Amino acid sequence: MEREEKSKKVAKEKRSVKKSKTVVLPAKEIPAAPAAETPSVPQSTGTGAAKRPSRSSKAKEPSYEQVQLRAYFIGERRKILNIPGDETSDWVQAELEVKAELAAK
């Protein structure tokens, strides 16, 4: 009987507690950044030959995701064929293969 009274009292207390409303404050306005001036390009006073952007001889680096995916498939093939190796060797091989593919493009 005591339990019932206690549980009724707790339920009544829960009902009597008012829920507080969350107040949303207006956001402060942030001033826009001033427009950046475009730097002026110096005019060449010379031979009239246009400069071309120099292409780097270095091939484009493969993305992390490309290497990760290739290493996964190398590792799966290695495990199926029972070829000795580990994850590090799979990763190195994957980097080499993806770099070679990007250089061929």
Q: Render pLDDT for 49-98 as a digit per residue (tens, 0 to 9).
A: 555 554 454 558 899 999 999 999 999 999 999 999 999 999 999 999 99
In percent, the amount of the chain with pLDDT more than 70 equals 44
- Apex 40 CA angle, 37 and 46, nearest 5: 175
**How much is the CA Rg of the chain, to the nearest whole Å?**
34
Question: What is the per-residue pLDDT for 103?
Answer: 93
- pTM for the complete prediction? 0.44
Residue 102's CB is within 10 A of a number of other CB atoms, namely: 14
Question: What is the per-residue pLDDT for 57?
Answer: 47
Q: Is the pLDDT of residue 44 over 80?
A: no
Question: What is the per-residue pLDDT for 92?
Answer: 96
Distances (CA, A) of 24 to 27, 45, 101: 9, 61, 55
Given its phi and psi angles, is residue 48 left (phi above 0), alpha (psi -120 to 50 degrees) or beta? left
Residue with tokens 């009239």: 48
| Pairwise CA distance, residues 70 & 84, whole Å | 18
